[in-house]
């Protein structure tokens, strides 16, 4: 069963990882990945996809002059 709120958290963390550079953001991303991996490898892979999508979407929030 797919949880949309859980997916939104992964995408939001991916966006935060793309926009902000910091230890706190990286720790949150690692925590999200470890938490997802506790449910199985398929959920860890899905978490990686969610983070990647968020990271790609972060390009909309960065001003590239």
Burial environment of residue 15 by CB neighbours within 10 A (0 to 12, 13 to 18, 19 or more): buried
| Phi, psi torsion values for 15, nearest 5 degrees | -65, -45
**pLDDT tens, residue by residue, 15-61:** 999 998 889 999 999 999 999 999 999 999 999 999 999 999 988 87
33's enclosing H/E stretch is helix 23-37
DSSP state of 17: H
pLDDT of residue 3: 81
Contact 54, 18 (CB under 8 A): yes
């Amino acid at each position: 069963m797919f949880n949309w709120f859980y997916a939104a958290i992964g995408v939001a963390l991916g966006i935060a990882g793309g926009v902000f550079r910091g230890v706190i953001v990286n720790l949150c991303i690692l925590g999200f990945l470890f938490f997802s991996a506790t449910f199985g490898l398929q959920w860890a892979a899905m978490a990686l996809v969610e983070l990647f999508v968020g990271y790609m979407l972060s390009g909309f929030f960065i001003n590239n002059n």
